């Protein structure tokens, strides 16, 4: 979908490049290409050369020419063939050739050297990976991953609008499932209802070109830290946990929501009361200037439990992106960050609860981006 050039975002990137003495960024991760060009590729064979001065160059497959023209901000697009009758190499090799040519002449280049995770392309199921040749082509490159993480941590007005869309779709899909969940339904069936709404109704919105759903759904004793959706049945009185992600045109929402059919069993009601108290304490703590390390300590101490996952992380052009508050690290919260706050407690042998929503850091605290309630919601 065509969106206006997000000049404040690109100006911030260039200012950070000036600080780090970089003449150009060479990026290939789909979320970084999207961040700098507004082009979200189909297959991950795309790249961008983004100079500190001058116009960026988008490199993409010929088959994506229409998408690049419709959505991209770059005035210069160079195309590579997915299949070349005289070149048996995979497409990424031709992308690299085009990138080396576009980056020629820049003295100090930044590459995604320490990138740990990336968002996928629009095809999702078969993500592409970096080859050694990609790094060998720029032997003197600086690591641009920390720079991009700093830039992406603070959201512009346009990015906030896009994140709100993803949050709206996630909440609407939960309301849809809430009206259909019933005892005996399998976890996988509940997940399919939620996913079907996101992909069908989300993509059908006037302000979205493509909405993709991702979920882990667990019922009762199936609630654990991190396991796959299975076929356990929904049981009356026991929560059904939806660990859910929506990607709307490359921008994400990351929630954990809980539904229950009938009155919540006493042991779960007691756990919910404790967990929501911790959650509210965490939300009250986060302000501009507040210590990230202290939040991690506070939440884990109040829980009386050590969840293996982060209790807070950034959300944007990836579902999980910096910052990641940790007791052994530094950093403070800043206005304009968007965070997923997600404390959880899990019982030995299965069962437990987690709550999570996305929040914008404002001058006065946090603004919740989703309309769907936290805690355990009755069907």
Which residue range forms the structural domain that includes residue 368? 157-378
Count of Cβ atoms closer than 10 Å to residue 32 Cβ: 26
Alpha carbon distance 300, 296 (integer Å): 6
143 and 165 co-located in one domain:
no
Retrieve residue 329's tokens: 């690290």
Any domain includes 12: yes
143 and 206 co-located in one domain:
no
68 and 108 co-located in one domain:
yes
pLDDT at res. 305:
85
Q: 267: which residues sit within 8 A by CB, 6+ positions away?
A: none
100 and 138 co-located in one domain:
yes
257 and 302 co-located in one domain:
yes
Alpha carbon distance 167, 338 (integer Å): 12
Give the domain-ending residue among 152, 178, 208: 152
Place of tokens 């050039």: 5
170 and 316 co-located in one domain:
yes
Q: What is the dihedral sign for C-alpha 233, 235, 241, 244?
A: positive
343 and 208 co-located in one domain:
yes
* 205 to 37, 271, 369: CA distances (angstroms): 23, 38, 18
Alpha carbon distance 155, 158 (integer Å): 8
Any domain includes 281: yes
108 and 192 co-located in one domain:
no
251 and 145 co-located in one domain:
no
* pLDDT tens-place string over residues 65-86: 999 999 999 999 999 999 999 9
How many domains would you assign to the chain?
A: 2
252 and 208 co-located in one domain:
yes
Any domain includes 2: no
Q: State the 10-residue block means of pLDDT for the chain, 379 residues long.
A: 93 98 98 98 96 97 96 97 96 97 97 95 90 96 98 98 98 98 98 98 98 97 91 98 98 98 97 98 98 97 91 98 97 98 94 97 97 97
170 and 112 co-located in one domain:
no
* CA-based nearest residue to 218, from 259, 269, 248, 249: 259
Q: Could you tell me the CATH number of the domain that includes residue 103?
A: 3.40.350.10
In 74-174, which ranges are E strands?
76-80, 109-111, 142-143
Any domain includes 363: yes
SS3 sequence of 262-275: CCCCHHHHHHHHHH
Any domain includes 1: no
Any domain includes 284: yes
Give the domain-ending residue among 132, 152, 172: 152
Could you tell me the pTM of the whole model?
Answer: 0.97
Instruction: Compute the residue count for the chain.
Output: 379
* pLDDT tens-place string over residues 123-171: 998 888 999 999 999 999 999 999 999 999 999 999 999 999 999 999 9
144 and 23 co-located in one domain:
yes
Give the domain-ending residue among 97, 130, 152: 152
């Amino acid at each position: 979908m065509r969106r206006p050039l997000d000049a404040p975002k690109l100006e911030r990137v260039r200012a950070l490049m000036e600080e780090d003495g970089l003449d150009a960024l060479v990026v290939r991760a789909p979320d970084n290409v999207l961040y700098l060009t507004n082009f979200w590729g189909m297959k991950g064979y795309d790249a961008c050369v983004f100079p500190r001065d001058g116009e960026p160059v988008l490199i993409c497959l010929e088959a994506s020419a229409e998408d690049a023209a419709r959505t991209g901000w770059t005035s210069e697009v160079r195309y590579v063939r997915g299949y070349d009758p005289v070149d048996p190499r995979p497409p990424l090799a031709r992308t690299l050739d085009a990138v080396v040519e576009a980056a020629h002449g820049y003295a100090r280049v930044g590459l995604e050297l320490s990138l740990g995770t990336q968002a996928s392309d629009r095809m999702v199921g078969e993500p592409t990976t970096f080859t050694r040749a990609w790094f060998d082509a720029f032997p003197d490159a600086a690591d641009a991953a920390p720079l991009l993480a700093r830039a992406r941590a603070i959201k512009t007005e346009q990015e906030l609008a896009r994140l709100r869309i993803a949050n709206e779709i996630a909440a609407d899909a939960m309301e849809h499932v809430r009206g259909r969940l019933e005892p005996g339904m399998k976890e996988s069936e509940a997940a399919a209802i939620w996913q079907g709404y996101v992909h069908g109704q989300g993509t059908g919105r006037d302000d979205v070109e493509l909405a993709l759903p991702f979920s882990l759904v667990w019922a009762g004793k199936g609630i654990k830290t991190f396991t796959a959706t299975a076929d356990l049945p929904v049981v009356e009185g026991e929560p059904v946990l939806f660990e859910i992600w929506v990607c709307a045109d490359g921008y994400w929402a990351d929630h954990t929501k809980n539904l229950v059919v009938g009155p919540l069993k006493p042991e779960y009601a007691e756990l919910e009361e404790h967990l929501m108290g911790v959650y509210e304490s965490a939300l009250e703590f986060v302000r501009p200037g507040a210590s990230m390390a202290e939040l991690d300590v506070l939440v884990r101490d109040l829980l009386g439990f050590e969840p293996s996952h982060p209790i807070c992380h950034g959300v944007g052009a990836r579902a999980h992106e910096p910052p990641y508050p940790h007791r052994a690290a530094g950093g403070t919260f800043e206005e304009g960050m968007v965070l997923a706050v997600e404390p959880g407690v899990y019982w030995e042998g299965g069962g437990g609860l987690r709550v999570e929503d996305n929040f914008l850091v404002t001058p006065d605290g946090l603004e919740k981006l989703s309309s769907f309630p936290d805690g355990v919601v009755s069907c």
